[in-house]
Every structure is written in structure tokens, then in C-alpha cells.
Chain A
């Protein structure tokens, strides 16, 4: 089954404790992206990757890191989480190339609370 998986689904942590949210897709997609969703602000892109070893900042990259060492995986790293990073996080993937964005497949989401 074609899917994007994220782990963990729920996480409560404390300020400053490094964490990683994993994302994996099995569709051989080149493009992968992380979003955060907050009430009243919609979905905002954090980082994206056009292919292996190619990553770039989205609209709200501060406080986050990513890596793309393998095509299927795109982990999101919070080196020193703060309460303003409490949010619902989504990973998404799609094919790339050609003109315009393709249909994106979303993971189930990770609800992060930083106290």
C-alpha cells in the first residue's frame, strides 16, 4: 500500500530536549516536505527536499533541521524544542519534475507538545 508514515504520532517533551520525528514514504517520490499546522495559521512549510542530499528552507524553518540521506526518509529534527513549536506536524511526498507541483501524499501527522 502506497503510504507516508510518521513516528511518533504523539509526543510530549520538555524544552531543550532534542527530538527527531521520522518520515518515510514507499512511493519512490523525489519531493518530500514538512509542514506544521496551527489554528488560524493553516499549513506552513518548514523544509522541503527535491531529492537525496537536496534540501531547502520553507516559510518557517527556524528551530528545525532536516536531512535527506535516502530517498525514502526525511526526518525532522528539533535540536532544542521550545513551547512555540507545539503544533501538529505533517510530512508529505510527491513526484517532481515537469511543470508545477504534483499531488502530495500526506502522513497521518505528529502532535507535538513542548512544555
Chain B
């Protein structure tokens, strides 16, 4: 089935550094979304990028989408300890409402 796959599975950086996570998917999409999950809690929506968009910003977040490569990246600039969480990409299929989630990237920000 269509699935977003995040890379790397785990990432550990120092506070203040930038964090980049990647997502690849298999089939054509309407949009791609990124979510954050703090340990054991519900997912929180971060950003949605449509298939006709190439880049989107929200605060310290920057998302890119390359539909020719079926990939997306999430950049968190000037990381903070509070950014420690798991990050998931989620894709839909053209014409569908269903979201399919990847397995996530576990991000740790060291003080």
C-alpha cells in the first residue's frame, strides 16, 4: 500500500542546530502532511503542502515537496529542547480522504 517512509529513523542534534527529516512515498498524491508526536501523546498537525506547491514555511518549519522524486523534507531551524518528539509524514492518494502515515523520525535535541 502507499506509504510515506521517513529517513532517518532517529536523529540526535545539539540545541540551536537545524534538523532535517525526509519522507518518500510511492504513488501520486493530493497533498502531504507533517505531524509531531510527543511521547505517547496524540499527533499534532504541523503543516500541509499540496502537490502543486514546492515549498512552504511555518515559523521555524520549512517543508519542501518534489513530486517528480516523490519525496518531501521537513527542516526545523534553530532547534529547541521542546522540539524533541517523533515526526511523521502522511500522504493521501489522489481522490481519497485517507491518510497513510510513515513510521516516523525520532528527533532528540540535546541541551
A interface, CB within 8 angstroms of B: 4, 31, 33, 35, 40-43, 45, 48, 50, 58-59, 88, 90, 92, 94, 96, 99-109, 111
Q: What chain A residues lie within 8 Å of B11 (beta carbons)? A: none
Query: Which of A58, A100, A105 is B45 in contact with, Cβ under 8 Å?
Result: A105
CB atoms of B95 and A101 under 8 A apart:
no
Q: How far is the CB of A42 from chain B (nearest CB, A)?
A: 4
Q: What chain B residues lie within 8 Å of A99 (beta carbons)? A: 30, 95
Interface string of B62-106 (1 = CB under 8 A from A): 000000000000000000000000001010101111111111100
CB atoms of B43 and A106 under 8 A apart:
yes
Bound CA span A103–B97, Å: 10
Q: Describe B's contact surface by its main secondary structure.
A: loop
Q: How far is the CB of B32 from chain A (nearest CB, A)?
A: 9
Q: What chain B residues lie within 8 Å of A50 (beta carbons)? A: 97
Given contacts A59-B1, A100-B30, contact A109 B95 (CB under 8 A): no
22 inter-chain pairs at a CB distance below 8 angstroms, sorted by A residue, are A31-B97, A33-B98, A33-B99, A42-B103, A42-B104, A43-B43, A45-B99, A88-B40, A94-B97, A100-B29, A100-B30, A100-B92, A100-B96, A101-B90, A101-B97, A101-B98, A102-B48, A104-B43, A104-B45, A106-B43, A109-B40, A109-B41
Q: Which residue of B is nearest A50, CB measured?
A: B97
CB atoms of B43 and A90 under 8 A apart:
yes
Query: Which of A41, A101, A111 is B99 in contact with, Cβ under 8 Å?
Result: A101
B24 part of interface (Cβ distance < 8 Å): no
Q: What chain A residues lie within 8 Å of B104 (beta carbons)? A: 42
Query: Which of B31, B40, B41, B101 is A100 in contact with, Cβ under 8 Å?
Result: B31
Q: What chain B residues lie within 8 Å of A33 (beta carbons)? A: 98-99
Q: How far is the CB of A52 from chain B (nearest CB, A)?
A: 15
Bound CA span A105–B45, Å: 7
Bound CA span A41–B93, Å: 20
Q: What chain B residues lie within 8 Å of A108 (beta carbons)? A: 41-42
